[in-house]
Amino acid sequence: MPPTAIAPAPAPVDVEQAEAALVEHYPRLVRIAYLVLPPALGRNRRVLTAHAVVQRSLPRSRSAATPDDGYAYVRGRVLRQALDAGRPSRRMAWPRRAQLPPLLPHVWGLRLFPRSGGADELALDQRLSALSGGARAAFVLRGLERLPDRDVRRLLTDAGIEDPHAALAEADGIGTKGVALLESPEYDACSLQARPTDLLRRRQHARAAVVGVAAVAVCGTLLGLPGDGWGANGAAAPPYARNSAAEAALDPAKVHRVPENAWRSAARTDFSVWPTRGALADDRPLLRRALAVWARPGAAVRVSSTPATPVGPPMGPPQLLYAGEVDRARVVLLYDGLRIARYAEARTGTGPVALDFARVDGASADTAPGAAPATYALVAGRTDGNVRYLTAPWVATASVRDLLDPAGDARPLRRGADGVTDPLPVPGASRECGAWDVLEVTESGEAGGVRLLSDLGELTPARLTSGPPSAPADVSGSAARTAWARTACLLPAVRSHGVRTVNSWQFASQSLPDSNGAAQWVCTRAETWRGTESRVLAQFQPPSAKAGAPKTGAVAARASGSPACGTREPHVLAGVLWKSRGGRWYVLAAGSDEFRSVRTTGGVTGEARGRVLAVPAKPGDRAELDGLLADGTRVGALR
């Protein structure tokens, strides 16, 4: 809270003291000026005038008769000028300085305004606009500065308000509900958004002048540089200067568009044959903004990307996949042969802008599940814990399936004419993991297969498969869904790592000691788009405590960048320290089919022929595992 005391008598204070107060409380003083200025000025001029008013509030001389509180002095000057700006101009009198457009600060080619608030801020703004300048000032001093009425009346009198009592009475009409909103970003004239001015008029009036000035400036700069270089950037030209490919990448008229049925006769089925869809596909201003932000995202743009995905501009005109409204945003999906770029802006035109990237190189729908991910869907938007997908043109039907309910039926999922689905819950949003909803799609045609896709927090959902690394298959049967039911809740461990496919493989089954039933050993491998840093989880799944109830097993081991459970190294060995229902402890271990024997050393010693092992142990024992493969190679456990 800034200082609020009002000194009873002025005392000499130099300009440095007032400047220190102004700099320290600059955002608050600008907010006061913005709120008191008449809304009829418009948001852009109110912002610039508010900054100008505050910057002109220093004393005129090096030492002036000011209150000993420098903040109170500057605030009084701000208040007087803001009120002067709202007074009507007299026909035969010179206008006051505050009534004229500010000379400084000044912005060319942009309109600046604070971030938009909600319905409450809009209602408060409308009520403030109906008040007189004095009443607005009284409301702000009361609510924002927390001043008592006697001090408010004194400040209003000093600022030239003839009847401060009437101003306070008028401010009472707003009530106390709006006081809390005075700190809202709606009235923060220091955190701003920018939009262009009237581009056509600006082009008509300024083209010749801008070209001439730019030519003189460039020539003068080059002539003044030593040698024959371009300065600090070496041989690099100014952004997009004389570069036809870069200029074409910014032209919405040159984006590549694919006809609706081109995929039916294409030699391949990847993103390059996705048709251009969406109700806003012909909205050139929207496309121009999306391309410009992709090429040069500003500081206010929220940029995200999957790991190791380049975020630079496209090398030429990209392909337009989709442009339309998704929930409360206008969304554009673009493809440049390597990446998917998603541009999203608020539907109202004022709000945050997001730019997301995802690698999709090598994606195809006509390859085996283990060779490459399929191009069946892209995330069109996420809102309020839900996700919407844009589905591929060869997707015949879409539905929602809960992985934790393997016996349950898939729920139909409606899609619009543009291929965008209805919202479905983002999986794993709650800590309890009571459900894991995935997208199930069926390809068109008589031999159309069923695919499961899970949202893992990125633009491209991950394709789920099941089976050994040499022959993974889509999760389409009861057995595969049952195996995934106890693995799905482990998927958050690979979220946002650039994952393209996740394969779950039951590599061993083991009869537990003391007649505790049978346990399953499962290896889950998540492959990334970049081909490195894959995530591997070995899971021990004892019998469920309740029949038919999926229960996530214990993670026995995990590794990053390991070839285990993959095509290059299709074997795995893992172990756990386990307690039976009778209270006895054991070291359990299991390996895949390639293992001929397993042994444990260290705190617990033992060896077993075959690929499973159970050795008595004590709580807290630590053991080292290794196994012998059929070719005589000895390998250690996954770590």
Give the model confidence (pLDDT) of 552-563 as tens digits: 788 999 999 999
> Any idea of the CA torsion for 140, 141, 143, 147, to the nearest 10 degrees?
180
Contacts of 208 (CB under 8 A, 6+ apart): none
- 275 and 309 belong to one structural domain: yes
- 58 and 172 belong to one structural domain: yes
- Residue 634's pLDDT band (boundaries 50, 70, 90)? very high
**pLDDT at res. 186:** 81
**pLDDT at res. 595:** 96
- Please give the average per-residue pLDDT across 327-334, as a whole number: 95
**pLDDT at res. 101:** 64
- Please give the average per-residue pLDDT across 233-247, as a whole number: 52
Is the predicted pLDDT of residue 241 greater than 80, yes or no? Answer: no
- Residue 180's pLDDT band (boundaries 50, 70, 90)? confident
Domain range spanning residue 230?
A: 198-236
The dihedrals phi and psi of 336, each to the nearest 5 degrees, come to -115, 20
pTM over 0.75: no
Is the predicted pLDDT of residue 616 greater than 80, yes or no? Answer: yes
- Residue 70's pLDDT band (boundaries 50, 70, 90)? confident
- Residue 2's pLDDT band (boundaries 50, 70, 90)? very low
**pLDDT at res. 419:** 95
**pLDDT at res. 378:** 96
> Any idea of the CA torsion for 525, 527, 533, 538, to the nearest 10 degrees?
0
Domain annotation covers residue 434: no
> Pick from 178, 194, 210: which residue ends a domain?
194
- 109 and 36 belong to one structural domain: yes
Is the predicted pLDDT of residue 598 greater than 90, yes or no? Answer: yes
- 302 and 178 belong to one structural domain: no
Structure letter (DSSP) for residue 199: H
**pLDDT at res. 620:** 86
The pLDDT tens digits of the residues spanning 415-463 come to: 999 999 999 999 987 778 889 999 999 988 765 688 999 999 999 999 9
- 158 and 134 belong to one structural domain: yes
**pLDDT at res. 98:** 56
Q: What is the mean pLDDT of the chain?
A: 83
- 48 and 148 belong to one structural domain: yes
How far is it, in rounded angstroms, from Cα 367 to Cα 376? 12
- Higher-scoring residue by pLDDT: 101, 86: 86
Number of folded domains in the chain?
3
Bond preceding residue 619 cis, omega within 30 of 0: no
- Please give the average per-residue pLDDT across 100-105, as a whole number: 69
Is the predicted pLDDT of residue 207 greater than 70, yes or no? Answer: no
* 63: enclosing H helix or E strand: strand 63-66
For the chain, report the end-to-end CA distance as a whole number of angstroms.
Answer: 54
**pLDDT at res. 370:** 45
Q: Which of 10-14, 150-154, 165-169, 612-616 has the highest mean pLDDT?
A: 612-616
The pLDDT tens digits of the residues spanning 381-405 come to: 999 899 999 999 999 999 999 999 9
Domain annotation covers residue 261: yes
- 141 and 217 belong to one structural domain: no
- 185 and 280 belong to one structural domain: no
Domain annotation covers residue 575: no
- 18 and 75 belong to one structural domain: yes
Is the predicted pLDDT of residue 23 greater than 70, yes or no? Answer: yes
Is the predicted pLDDT of residue 339 greater than 80, yes or no? Answer: yes
